Structure 1
């Protein structure tokens, strides 16, 4: 795979105009208020596990529309709180998986909530949360599910779940609510940025953000420069629905990460890979350059969508330790 985008110098200066609806803030405030009309009902059930250094709890809370969302809460065995915490969101197609698949954060001394991803979890890692929302006409996948109306768009439900997951983590007795980071890679990184941008008096500002090779950033541009999925799902939908292209991107503008990044003020660590044809570098830099808070970015010139891998995990641990 060759370099897929601009030169690094061009990327560092890339600050495209944002397609932002005039009622962006009002829309999301109303969406979160509607979700909060339902009790959070956060539940943490201890799980018998062969793990000896990590305690596991099965998490359920009410997300969008009061619908139950699953997760795991991992924390160091016999730790005394309050602990710093990480709320992690999962990449495209994956679900919360199995507890032993994500041990790094708990091993480093954090309480770690992994949110299940509604409707996903059947591509590479198992999930347990159905998507009860409307679908309408859509291309196979999730990026165009309900895309002809902002109220029915899949990512409205998913981002709402993610904010409620943050609120759930803060209710756990072992968690210091002032030291909760949000993190994820690919789709998970995009969700983390959305949550950081949606922080309000109820959810509270996050302590930090780790967004690795984030998806759902500068979305229309992405559909124009890559043939990689999942962005190609949107292009394929528009290929068929020729008369609805502008309507599609009007809806998507409510979920575009650059608009959340412009509102986020917590310290952030991004990563980008210059050979990434799934989340092209210019989409990541568009988000990073619009990010409103203190920010750092790790660049991996010869990597694709795997990004920095274990090297970036070490970098994220170092970043989190400073928060």
Structure 2
């Protein structure tokens, strides 16, 4: 686990001029106008065998109104609208089993977990398919799916799903609409940044070692086990498409979107992270449009702060949203 990117001083000084498409706001306005009514969300009770947390299987219209699965956890004794944490998942992860992720509900928050369309390895947990065709010429993974055009890209759909989940949380009767936070680890951290930028009303953002930030640099410096390597593999085959690829990805780059977010944010960044290099995370941090703080884990790789950071998040979030 060597230090393969900039040290902390270098990361603090790294403030790149990123390529921002002239029609970025129009692109996302068109995308988010394209169906997916959060009022049509469905929540079905699930018997987990647990007595202190009530769980519901959530189905929420995402990109194009397509159904996206999730779990909603509520403290069993709640008697008033609650602050809510909307959580997005890491690369390759599905929503899992209903009883797996209970931290936020145990701490007194409503907790809405979004499945990642087409990701996850357990069909038994009711994962969400991605019904869009797998474009020809891509490489295994998700980062080059539809990379010829931002309108066709996989992450256009996944970011839209993330915005819809935040909107649906704000409309749930058990949730205080003014106290909704978004969070996630790695891919989920990038989605949290994007949702914070694109969903008015989000009250707090907690990106944890975020993916999808300063993607061009991530492709250059991330390790071979990072999803950024998918772009390397793609461009090793399609040698004449680099400009096109990075133009498409600029519409989906969370560091490009970050100045549009205004809610308070708590980042986590690991200095030995070879999956989401720390300089790329700091690019998003420096560009973030709202008040922000960061916890730096100097000796950790992509696992970041894990449970120690979760405790930091809880303390910080209670200060922002209240218990």
* TM bucket, shorter chain: over 0.9
Compute the displacement of 1:123 (Å): 8.0
Compute the displacement of 1:107 (Å): 0.4
**Normalised TM-score (structure 1):** 0.96
- In the other structure, the counterpart of 2:247 is 250
Structure 2 unaligned spans of 5+: none
Compute the displacement of 1:126 (Å): 5.3
Compute the displacement of 1:54 (Å): 0.6
- In the other structure, the counterpart of 2:49 is 50
Which one of 266, 279, 283 corresponds to residue 280 of structure 2? 283
Asked if the contact 1:117/1:127 (under 8 Å) is kept, the reply is no
Which one of 208, 214, 234 corresponds to residue 237 of structure 1? 234
- Over 3 Å counting, the alpha-carbon distance change for 1:4 and 1:126 in structure 2 is farther
2:3 matched to 1:27?
no
Asked if the contact 1:94/1:125 (under 8 Å) is kept, the reply is no
2:160 matched to 1:160?
yes
Distance in 2 between residues matched to 1:134 and 1:29, nearest whole Å = 24
- In the other structure, the counterpart of 1:187 is 187
- In the other structure, the counterpart of 1:114 is 113
1:29-56 deviation line (CA, Å, top 9, x unaligned): 01000124x5741011111121111100
Compute the displacement of 1:135 (Å): 2.5
- Kindly report which structure 2 residues correspond to 1:76-155, keeping only aligned pairs within 5 A, or say none: 76-122=75-121, 128-137=127-136, 138-155=138-155
Distance in 2 between residues matched to 1:124 and 1:270, nearest whole Å = 32
Distance in 2 between residues matched to 1:8 and 1:125, nearest whole Å = 43
Structure 1 unaligned spans of 5+: none
Compute the displacement of 1:91 (Å): 0.3
Q: Which moved more, 1:109-118 or 1:124-133?
A: 124-133
Could you list the runs of 4 or more consecutive aligned residues of structure 1 that deviate by over 6 angstroms after TM superposition?
Answer: none
- In the other structure, the counterpart of 1:215 is 211
Compute the displacement of 1:78 (Å): 2.4
Distance in 2 between residues matched to 1:124 and 1:244, nearest whole Å = 35
**Normalised TM-score (structure 2):** 0.96
Distance in 2 between residues matched to 1:79 and 1:100, nearest whole Å = 18
Asked if the contact 1:95/1:122 (under 8 Å) is kept, the reply is yes
Asked if the contact 1:271/1:308 (under 8 Å) is kept, the reply is yes
- Over 3 Å counting, the alpha-carbon distance change for 1:127 and 1:220 in structure 2 is farther
Distance in 2 between residues matched to 1:153 and 1:107, nearest whole Å = 37
2:262 matched to 1:265?
yes
Which one of 290, 293, 299 corresponds to residue 293 of structure 1? 290
- Over 3 Å counting, the alpha-carbon distance change for 1:295 and 1:111 in structure 2 is same
Residue 75 of structure 1 aligns to a residue whose secondary structure is strand
Q: Which moved more, 1:278-287 or 1:74-83?
A: 74-83
Aligned residues: 318
Compute the displacement of 1:205 (Å): 2.3
Distance in 2 between residues matched to 1:243 and 1:257, nearest whole Å = 25
- Over 3 Å counting, the alpha-carbon distance change for 1:126 and 1:274 in structure 2 is farther
